[in-house]
Amino acid sequence: MLLEPPRSRAWAADTVVTEGRTVTHRRNIDGDSGQVYIYIGGSFPEGTHLGTFEYLFDLVGPEGNTSGYITPLLFMRQTVGSFVIFTVAGIGQGFEADYRSPGAPATILFDLVEGIKAPPNGDYTFGYINAIVNASGPLVSSPGTVDYDNTEDGGDGIGGAGTTNAWAVTAEGPPFPTVGLGTTFGIYDSGADFTFFSVSRSYSAQASGIVVAP
């Protein structure tokens, strides 16, 4: 199985850009703790200064949790042989995530505190881990905190033509995911440090930033 890289797109300077999926109510919340989720349906343009991460947590999950953790992450996407590999390139500040009333999204800062501060080219996307982490990995983790559907939504992603609504989620483990800089993720047999359980879900999460003039 090969993940096809989405097309890169050119953007004008001083433009607000958003990638991910619409933040709307969905059917499920993950029960496994400390998993990693990556938006694989698009990428940020070169020089995007990330600002916010928006998500929806309006269900009680199978573990009964009404709170948890989210740390936003920046990933570099590269093709290695016949596989697409996602490498942790930036680690954001982590936050506690609390259950909210149905249909009420939450917004947190996408403040990169480790790694690169802005994508140097168009091969970077975002994701998150249900944990509070440092440069070495998770310090404390939780079950899921973002609504999702088991099947990928059709049509274009928020980023427009050339994007999709596909997300990838890690397998439960062992080994359990860590997100130190340089950690890699991919499908089975890709040679990545951690493998995906699914690459065809849609999660109610999106990240926004600004492409500034040189």
pLDDT in tens, 115-153: 999 999 999 999 999 999 976 678 899 999 999 999 999
Q: What is the pLDDT of residue 101?
A: 80
The structural domains of the chain, with segments of one domain joined by +, span: 15-211
105-118 pLDDT per residue, tens: 999 999 999 999 99
Got the DSSP string for the chain?
--PPPPPP----TTEEEEEE------SB---SSS-EEEE-S--BPTTEEEEEEEE---S--TT--SEEEEEEEEEEEEEETTEEEEEEEEEE--EEEE--STT--EEEE--EEEE-SS-SSS-EEEEEESEEEETTEEEEE-S--S-EESSPPPS-BTTBTT----EEEE---SSPP---TT-EEESTTS--SEEEEEEEEEESEEEEEEE---
Cis amide bond preceding 120, omega within 30: no
Q: Which of 7-21, 168-182, 197-211 has the lowest mean pLDDT?
A: 7-21
Statement: residue 9 has pLDDT above 60: no
Average pLDDT, the chain: 91
What would the pLDDT profile of 39-62 be if each residue is shown by its tens digit? Answer: 999 999 999 999 999 999 999 989
Who has greater pLDDT, 103 or 77? 77
pLDDT band at 174 (very low <50, low <70, confident <90, very high): confident
Angle (nearest 5°) at CA 18 between 131 and 212: 110
pLDDT the model gives residue 2: 46
Token code pair at residue 52: 């916010």
- 19: pLDDT strictly greater than 90: yes
CATH class entry, domain 15-211: mainly beta
